Amino acid sequence: MMRFPACQGFVTACILCLGLTGAIRAQERQPARIDQQKDLDKQIYTLLKDVINKGADLYTKEGDRAGCYRLYEGSLMTLRPLLAHHPDLQKAIDASFAKAEQEKLVGNRAFALREALDKMRTELKPAQAQKTAPAAAQPNTPPPTLWQRLGGEQNVTRVIADFVDRAAKDPKVNFDRNGKYKFDAAKLADLKKKLVAMVSEASGGPLKYTGKSMKEVHKGMGVTDAEFDALAAHLKKALEDHGARPADVAAVLKAVGNTRADIVERK
């Protein structure tokens, strides 16, 4: 699939906002009347639907998280000066930029900016639209899955690579079961691929795990609770190092914890 430069999101936002340049110039010349402000709000409200839907398509259908972020960023930067009569929305935009700066993953930065776009669309909704079409007020975009919040296949692959490499070197994990199992480069690559698929299937991603069950895989290995905990600690560290939010780290570890009974052998 053809990829476009990340800056295209900003350019797209500017193009979408060109229809509002007249309103910008008018505001610079003289304070807007109430009816002008309402007309401007209506234009922005309509525009935001296109911005949000385009961003959702970039993120989910094309996998272009950076493009989605730049689109949202450019749109908010362009629209902020038009909202002098809505200081609360300007504050919401500023807060969303500050929140985005704290996120390591570009996808999470996009989600942070999306909150401001949603708030703007809610507060700028024309009164007539509220009465006649409440169900169609917000674009129908589904909330991000855990897989998406983790950064999708690209970032999860990095997480799993770090996780496996660290765990394999930790004697507390006993990765090779006292030397019984030999892992060359090909076997490690296959293991990592299967683990990525497992995370995908458990977090709403597109990849499906087709290997053996955890009980079958670990039968006879004698894995202890302490070894399981050491393994989980490496996964937690890998997730954190690659920008996963605390709530998402907890969700992954909870899913892992649910496999304890199938992996740990009780004497």
148-263 is a CATH 3.40.50.170 domain: no
In whole angstroms, give the CA distance from residue 43 to residue 209: 47
Q: pLDDT tens digits, residue range 128-160? A: 655 555 555 555 667 888 998 898 998 999 999
Do the beta carbons of residue 155 and residue 105 sit within 8 Å? yes
Domain extents in the chain = 8-142, 148-263
Do the beta carbons of residue 159 and residue 150 sit within 8 Å? yes
Q: H-helix or E-strand containing 189? A: helix 185-203
In whole angstroms, give the CA distance from residue 160 to residue 158: 5
Residue 17 pLDDT grade (very low, low, confident, very high; cuts 50, 70, 90): low
Non-local CB neighbours of 157 within 8 Å, separated by 6+ positions: 192, 196
Give the pLDDT score at 15: 43
Residue 23 pLDDT grade (very low, low, confident, very high; cuts 50, 70, 90): low
* CB environment 133-172: b (16+ within 10 A), e (fewer): eeeeeebeeeebebbbbbbbbebbbbbbbbbbebbeeeee
Is pLDDT at 8 greater than 70 in this prediction?
A: no
Give the pLDDT score at 3: 44
To the nearest whole percent, how much of the chain has pLDDT over 90?
50
Mean pLDDT of 8-20: 50
Mean pLDDT of 165-181: 91
pTM of the model: 0.63
